A and B are shown apart, each in its own frame.
Chain A
Amino acid sequence: MRTADSRGQWWRFGLLLVITGVVLVPVAAVLVLALRPGVASGSTASFGIANFTHVFTDVPTLIWLANSLGVTLATVLVSVAVAAPAGYVLSRGRSRAVSAYSLLLFVVQSLPVITAVIPLFLLFAEIGLVDNLIGLGIVYVGASMSVAVWMMAAYIDTIPVSLEEAAWIDGASLFTGFTRIVLRNSLPGVLSTAIFTFLVSWNDYLVAIVFLRSEERFTLPIGVQSFFQQNGTDWGSVMALAVVMMLPPVIVFTTLNRYFSVGGIGGSLAGT
């Protein structure tokens, strides 16, 4: 029994190893090509960081990186600040208005970004928010709002109401109960929401390609894409830029992975 069990274990281990290997081929290709100096870098070594020196000195990579970081951090902060109180209401509220709000979140989530992007482009053009990183951030906060609220609500569901009730009896207001008790115990929920909005904002292509016009405003996705279109055969430099773009989300996700849960979305969608 024991040997059969451990044989099954090694068979599954081998299978997982093969699957993971195949799945990661594209990611491995990016890393390998980035570290193999290409023609444009002027280096003859078979292995090295010449591509990275090239993209950081001859391409506005640093500006794009700074733009992406700025927009993403602002989006994460604002999203969490807006989604946490809304998630609290969604989790604790039991009225008809709360149900309507929940349905609204769901309808909004199913709206295609393309439908919103065209009118927003026209509106933002009027008020000078096209080709502007603030305009971009506003759209990202709106685009990630539903999932962010669900994630916060899902986490707040796990905090017992009795804690707040005790505080209310001691004379605390609803708002104090929310900030002093619920928010203080919501770090995993906040991190989960933050990771999600980070990914939405960092990885977005559609909104950025519509809204950004000048090279010094580009975020990394648009920078990488335009560089790829102009230097399609210089795979070394293209992949070095790709590495710069994929490292932040990969680092954030692998270190904070244990806090991230999409499972809860199901619960708050279905209602409790």
Chain B
Amino acid sequence: MTRARRTLLLLVAPSLALLVLINAYPLVYAAVQSVRDGTLIDPGDFVGLDNYRDTLTSPAFWRSVRFTLIFTAVGVFGSWLGGLGLALLLRTRIPGRTVFKTLLLLPWVVPVVVSSTAWNWLVATPQSLLPTLVHALGLGTPLFLADPVWARITVCVFKVWISVPFMMMMISAALTGVDRAVYEAADVDGATRWQQFAHITLPMIARSTYISWILMTIFCVNDFPTIYLLTGGGPVDATTSLVVLSYRTVFQNFQVGPGVAIAFVMTLSLVVVSVALYRQIRKAHA
């Protein structure tokens, strides 16, 4: 090994060690736990694939899969549309642009514990601000956190509210790379605003869009606090995502094996999907 290679290895070594300790080791451990019937203090006995069988045949698991998919789809595309709209608005000459940009990043910067408390105050009971407003407008009294359908909608909107700034930053960064002269040329050629958007802007931000979708999918599937702090997974499990289900199984029902099996099934699906997408980007870029 040359001296240069040894230096490179030394430079990545600390990060590799941490990746192994914090990520690889737990993954192996989780794999072992998922085929045992242990609790938090007792390693338990080997039970083969029972935990997986129980997981894959349990209706609660599939309900969680469904909610996780809804939550992720709304989270990814909702925040992308919002972020795209804001990034395009902020690209134009507007008084106070920097101030707007900073203020609009706040939902992403404010800790979820704080924002979920604020949302709780806004929507939790029929006497809260938003239900009172809706009632005053004669639109009934929706129970934003107590009705299963409304609770799902509220959690998804909350996730979009938190994630839009991230998308806005990703898309803004991609848009700064687009040369204004291209639009001027398109104007001269008589292209409409929509044609300019579809044929210049979208292709130029396609790569960042793709990457931001992958990252946001990972963020949504793995999300815990956004859901747990707002609804705790309720009412009646309506907003129990896979992560919340896994957390409850381990830390509230103390069934480590089944809980880890749930997390493991989810992890494997996510890794397979995201590695496939990752190869796709690298291939498209090469």
- Quick check: is A52 within 8 A (CB to CB) of the other chain? no
Given contacts A30-B117, A115-B260, A225-B229, contact A86 B15 (CB under 8 A): yes
Q: Mark B70-83, 1 if CB is under 8 A from A, else 0.
A: 00000000000000
Q: How far is the CA of A116 from the CA of B29 in the complex (A)?
A: 9
Is B264 in contact with A115, judged by CB distance below 8 angstroms?
Answer: yes
B139: min CB distance to chain A, Å: 17
Provide the residues of chain B in CB contact with A262, threshold 8 Å.
Answer: 166, 169-170, 173
- Identify which of B111, B118, B222 contacts A112 (C-beta below 8 A): B222
Looking at the complex, which of B45-53, B55-63, B141-149, B210-218 is the stretch in contact with chain A? B210-218
Chain A nearest CB from B196 CB (Å) reads 15
Interface residues on B, range: 35 or more
Q: How far is the CB of B245 from chain A (nearest CB, A)?
A: 10
Query: Counting CB contacts under 8 A, is A66 at the interface?
Result: no
Alpha-carbon separation in the docked complex, A245 to B114 (Å): 7
CA distance A257 to B11 in the complex (A): 29
Assess whether B114 is in contact with A246, with CB atoms less than 8 Å apart: yes
Contact A205 B229, beta carbon cutoff 8 Å: yes
B8 touches A145 (CB 8 A): no
Query: Does the CB pair A142–B104 fall under 8 Å?
Result: no
Q: Which listed residue, A9, A29, A123, A175, touches B29 by the CB 8 Å rule?
A: A123
A142 pairs with B21, CB closer than 8 A: yes
B256 CB–A CB distance under 8 Å: yes
**Cα separation A81 to B13 with both chains bound (whole Å):** 12
B229, A138: Cβ atoms closer than 8 Å: no
Q: Which residues of B contact A162 (CB under 8 A)?
A: none
Q: What secondary structure prevails in chain A residues at the interface with B?
A: helix
A236 to B118, CA, bound (A): 12
Q: How far is the CB of B119 from chain A (nearest CB, A)?
A: 6
| Residues from chain B with Cβ under 8 Å of A263 in the complex | 169-170, 172-174, 176, 208
Decide: B263 and A173 in contact? CB cutoff 8 A: no
On chain B, the residues within 8 Å of A88 by CB distance are 11
Binds B, one of A13-21, A35-43, A55-63: A13-21
Measured between beta carbons, the chain A residues less than 8 angstroms from B176 are 263
Q: Give complex CA distance A238, B212 in Å.
A: 35
Asked if A27 and B30 make an inter-chain contact with CB atoms under 8 angstroms apart, the answer reads no
Q: How far is the CA of A50 from the CA of B172 in the complex (A)?
A: 42
When the two chains form their complex, are residues B26 and A120 in contact, meaning their CB atoms are under 8 A apart? yes
Give CA–CA (A30, B111) in the complex, Å.
12
Query: At the interface, yes or no: B286 with Cβ under 8 Å from chain A?
Result: yes
A269 is contacted by which of B111, B173, B211 (Cβ under 8 Å)? B211
Measured between alpha carbons, how far is A269 from B104 in the docked complex, in Å? 26
Partner of A145, one of B18, B246, B281: B18
CA distance A149 to B24 in the complex (A): 17
| B30 and A118 within 8 A (CB) | yes
**A163 CB within 8 Å of chain B:** no
Given contacts A9-B92, A111-B23, A210-B251, 13 further A-B contacts (CB under 8 A): A9-B94, A26-B161, A104-B19, A111-B267, A115-B27, A138-B18, A142-B23, A254-B102, A263-B170, A263-B208, A266-B207, A266-B208, A271-B285
Listed by A's residue number, 30 A-B pairs whose Cβ atoms lie within 8 Å are A12-B92, A12-B94, A19-B86, A20-B104, A23-B104, A23-B106, A23-B161, A24-B103, A27-B107, A29-B118, A85-B15, A86-B12, A89-B11, A104-B19, A110-B270, A112-B243, A113-B224, A114-B222, A114-B246, A118-B263, A119-B26, A138-B18, A138-B22, A205-B113, A224-B117, A253-B105, A253-B109, A262-B173, A270-B211, A270-B281
